[in-house]
Amino acid sequence: MVEVVPPGGDVIVIANVYDRHEGRDEANRTAQCAAWGEIAKHRRVIVAGDMNAHSKMWNPKATYNKNHTFWERLITEEDLFLWNTEEATRMGPGVMNHSIINLTLSSPNMDLIWCLLVEEATGSDHEVIAWEVLGNCHPTAITSTETTGWDISEWDPAKESEEEEKKKAEERQRKARECYLAGAGRTPILSDNSTKEEVREAAGSLREAMTVTLDEHARKKRWCSRSKPWWCKDLKELRKDLGWARRRWRVAGISRVKAARREFRRAIRKAKRDCWNRFLHKADGNKVWTAAAYTRPRIDKTGQTLVRDDGSIAEGHHEREQAILQSHFPPGPPRVFEPAQGGKAFERVNAQLVGSLLGVAANTSAPGDDQISAGIVKVFWQWDKQRITQLVRACIRLRFHPGIWKTAKGVVIPKPGKPDYSKVRAYRVILLLDVISKLLERTAAHLIAYIWSASGAYTRASSDAGSGDPVSMRLQF
């Protein structure tokens, strides 16, 4: 592996591959044991070499697949761009089929000129591949290297139409379930005698088991330039045409590259316009106001200074963050309330209650710091109901909220209609908590509403203040 640093630009990591088996064992391949996860985390990566793999992913003329699983998975999970054309990379009398086993892969935010130098005479039956990095040398953060979630749709056999694909989905689901249960099983299931320390350990173990399972068996989601609602198959094909023109510019000419780029950009503008028109045509209810917000003139508030409550000025990213935190999250009052001991509300917490509260959570809601969505937690719930139920039950019994669940992501958004957006109070902060943390809060809110309703206090509060009473609204949560 080589690191190349262009003047004033990002580091380019180049990994050279020769994937061959050691001895007679076909599965013993040193190249596949490399730390590809760490290599792919770099912003700009090029992977090139002899993969010794046959697949229809990069060779439509392939008559069989061999040593393809690892490289197909790496390309898919790490969102690598494949620069090979349909030209054979291996020639000679010993080659019985159209062979493409020498691949060139890169991060999707890189542009390469790729071609075969067929006129070069060498002593090898492999063709000489030449590629050149295009674009400016300055950092271009088109694709994020951070995982923003996971896609587990490949675990669901119901989403597959062919019988063979259903069997593959069932196998992936089985492996994921075994991985999760093996990780979670290292910590015993809690009981009504568990301590706070055991609850803290169980909460950390649960998150670790979920994260490890998703990293190994689910497709990682990363923000990229194509994470847009207007992206479609037509744009994907035009992008391929542009990539082909860039790679063959010596043959097709630079005019072909310019024409492909012009056609691609026009198609993007048309796709955006059509997406907006479809949104307006189907908008109803709250979406009408969403459309109105998009059409209002916007003020750039990202780089301006903020005025604190005491009139001082906050400049720079760090100072603005501290100003918003101090304004919206002031220190709490000294704690003087001590809850009564011996409560029995936790006895109502069972699998049926926790499952019903988790079931109403929206799968599309933004996840918290762990990036695990409600839809994913529901799958783990089906595999391990008792463990999650006992964890929530123990938290209620001990009146304890584990610290690992208290970390939240704060999203700062401007309040609409404010005359001066230099004031720190012109913004609000939305907190995104982990799904498990919100599940614990939902359970506590349900128990409070039940106790108030049983004692008659809930009915009196609602009748005194009306149906819009904030107290009753909170209890209904």
Query: 328, 361, 346, 327: which is closest to 447 by C-alpha?
Result: 346
Question: Does 159 share its domain with 273?
Answer: no
Question: Does 205 share its domain with 248?
Answer: no
More confident residue, 16 or 457: 16
Say whether pLDDT at 472 is over 60.
no
Say whether pLDDT at 288 is over 70.
no
Q: In this structure, are residues 53 and 71 in contact, taking their beta carbons and an 8 Å threshold?
A: yes
Q: Where a domain ends, among 133, 159, 183?
A: 133
Reading the block at residue 215, the tokens are: 């990293």
Determine the average pLDDT of the residues in 13-35. Answer: 74
Question: Does 360 share its domain with 406?
Answer: yes
- Does residue 69 sit within a domain? yes
- Does residue 432 sit within a domain? yes
> Above pLDDT 70, what percent of the chain?
80
- Owning domain of residue 424: 149-222+344-476
> Above pLDDT 90, what percent of the chain?
24
> Would the CA dihedral through 89, 94, 97, 101 be positive or negative?
negative
Question: Does 101 share its domain with 16?
Answer: yes
Query: Which amino acid makes up residue 174?
Result: R
- Does residue 138 sit within a domain? no
More confident residue, 4 or 339: 4
Question: Does 110 share its domain with 155?
Answer: no
Task: Report residue 477's pLDDT band, with 50, 70 and 90 as the boundaries.
Answer: very low
More confident residue, 316 or 442: 442
Give pLDDT tens digits for 32-90. Answer: 888 887 888 788 899 998 888 888 888 888 888 888 888 888 888 887 888 888 788 87
- Does residue 311 sit within a domain? no
Give pLDDT tens digits for 422-444. Answer: 888 888 888 889 999 999 999 99
Instruction: Name residue, tokens 């409560």.
Output: 343
Question: Does 22 share its domain with 64?
Answer: yes
CA 188 to CA 227: how far, in whole Å?
40
Question: Does 274 share its domain with 359?
Answer: no
Question: Does 155 share its domain with 50?
Answer: no
Q: Where a domain ends, among 133, 168, 188?
A: 133
Per-residue confidence (pLDDT) for residue 236, from 0 to 100: 79
Rounded to 5°, the CA angle 316-416-438 comes to 80
Give pLDDT tens digits for 157-212. Answer: 888 888 888 899 999 999 999 999 999 999 999 999 999 999 999 999 999 999 99
The enclosing domain of 63 has a CATH number of 3.60.10.10
- Does residue 366 sit within a domain? yes
What is the reported pTM?
0.58
Task: Report residue 297's pLDDT band, with 50, 70 and 90 as the boundaries.
Answer: low
Question: Does 249 share its domain with 218?
Answer: no
Question: Does 348 share its domain with 429?
Answer: yes
Per-residue confidence (pLDDT) for residue 136, from 0 to 100: 47
Say whether pLDDT at 357 is over 80.
yes
Reading the block at residue 337, the tokens are: 């309330």
Question: Does 33 share its domain with 127?
Answer: yes
Question: Does 349 share its domain with 471?
Answer: yes
194: left (phi over 0), alpha (psi -120 to 50) or beta: beta
Q: In this structure, are residues 62 and 98 in contact, taking their beta carbons and an 8 Å threshold?
A: yes
Q: Where a domain ends, among 295, 318, 334?
A: 295
CA 387 to CA 201: how far, in whole Å?
13
CA 9 to CA 12: how far, in whole Å?
9
Per-residue confidence (pLDDT) for residue 334, from 0 to 100: 77
Per-residue confidence (pLDDT) for residue 9, from 0 to 100: 66
358: left (phi over 0), alpha (psi -120 to 50) or beta: alpha
Containing 378, the helix (H) or strand (E) segment is helix 374-383
19-28, 226-235, 301-310, 430-439: range with lowest mean pLDDT: 19-28
Mean pLDDT of the chain: 80
How many domains does the structure of the chain reveal?
3
Q: In this structure, are residues 75 and 35 in contact, taking their beta carbons and an 8 Å threshold?
A: no
DSSP state of 274: H
Say whether pLDDT at 270 is over 70.
yes
Per-residue confidence (pLDDT) for residue 255, from 0 to 100: 79
Rounded to 5°, the CA angle 132-137-139 comes to 120
> Would the CA dihedral through 179, 181, 184, 188 be positive or negative?
negative
- Does residue 227 sit within a domain? no
- Does residue 308 sit within a domain? no
Determine the average pLDDT of the residues in 381-408. Answer: 93
Give pLDDT tens digits for 208-260. Answer: 999 999 999 998 876 654 457 777 888 878 887 887 777 676 677 777 877 88
Query: 41, 50, 29, 54: which is closest to 80 by C-alpha?
Result: 41
Reading the block at residue 455, the tokens are: 């004692």
